[in-house]
Amino acid sequence: MQVLAEDGTRIDARVNERQHVNAVVLIHGFPFSASIWDAQADALAQDACVVCPDLRGAGKSSEPEGPYLMETLAADVALLLDALGIERASIAGHSMGGYVALAFARMFTERVARLALVPSRLRADTPKEAQARWKLADRIEREKSIEPVVESLLPRLFAPNTPAERPAVVERAREIVMRNGPAGAAAALRGMALRSSAEDIAEDLDVPMVMIAGAQDATLTQEEAKGVVERFPRGRLVLCKESGHMPMMEEPEIVTAALREWLKSELP
């Protein structure tokens, strides 16, 4: 399905049209699209209405000028839910998608039934991290290519053994990234650099929360993942032992099982 935001941006989403009691939104991270959730979307569709948006600037969605603030991306998700007639949903986000999920929770708290971070963090960027994002955004715009993103980010998103033992997974991820344009990627990088911390809202989100983290993640350590979970009243941690930052692709069965259990958790 497709919807148009107020600024004319086209937001595309893969939607399981069947109606169920549960509705779940799977929000992709940077620099990907909804395709990273293919395994989970197919499996969860047996029990829930699954919405997998391509965030603006990614996948089949259009590529307006940026920066793409996390609040703007969250409003796009709300627009999709409005179009589907879904008042309340379980929201899962990977990496940048987690930032969007947290922005959604701040803006539309009453619409969040459950929250999953797969994996993501609460804090904002450090000045050094923000500067690196701006620098990469400038480079890909200057070179008019998404290739610098692939070169700088993709190698460190996977567990050390994944490229040798599961090369098809890494190649699939690369294919997804290469379908995105440099302008959208630059706008997303700048939006992440500008985001605010979500640490202040965690303790007030009294909903079932799960962090599905990779034990071999070079981006988000196990210690930080545990610290994030402890901030939530109903937080729980699931570790994928053979995964880096991409557990939904590296160990899809474990992520699917964890999300299924999460979707069965009792609502407040």
The pLDDT value recorded for residue 16 is: 86
The CATH number assigned to the domain holding 163 equals: 3.40.50.1820
pLDDT band at 19 (very low <50, low <70, confident <90, very high): low
In the three-class reduction of DSSP (H, G, I as helix; E, B as strand; rest coil), residue 263 is classed as helix
What's the mean pLDDT in 245-265? 97
Our CA dihedral for 205, 208, 213, 218, rounded to 10 degrees, sits at 0
- Count Cβ atoms within 10 A of the Cβ of residue 208 and give its class: 0-12 exposed, 13-18 middle, 19 or more buried: buried
Rounded Cα distance, 42 and 256, in Å: 10
Instruction: Count how many domains the chain has.
Output: 1
* Full residue range of the structural domain in which residue 39 is found: 2-264
State how far the Cα of 160 lies from the Cα of 179, in Å rounded to an integer. 25
For 105-127, how does the pLDDT look when each residue is reduced to its tens digit (9 = 90+)?
999 999 999 999 999 999 999 99
- Is the per-residue pLDDT at 18 higher than 80? no
Which pair of structure tokens corresponds to residue 47? 């029990």
Name 174's Cβ contacts closer than 8 Å, sequence gap at least 6.
150, 154
Strands 10-15 and 49-54: antiparallel
pTM: 0.97
> Does 268 score more than 90 pLDDT?
no
Of 108, 110, 120, whose CA–CA distance to 27 is shortest? 120
Give the Cα separation of 3 and 80 in Å (integer): 7
Question: Where residue 227 falls among pLDDT bands split at 50, 70, 90?
Answer: very high
Return d(Cα 129, Cα 140) in angstroms, integer: 17
DSSP string computed for 69-88: -HHHHHHHHHHHHHHHT-S-
Instruction: Report H helices in the chain.
Output: 38-44, 70-84, 96-107, 127-143, 147-153, 162-165, 167-178, 182-193, 222-230, 247-250, 252-264
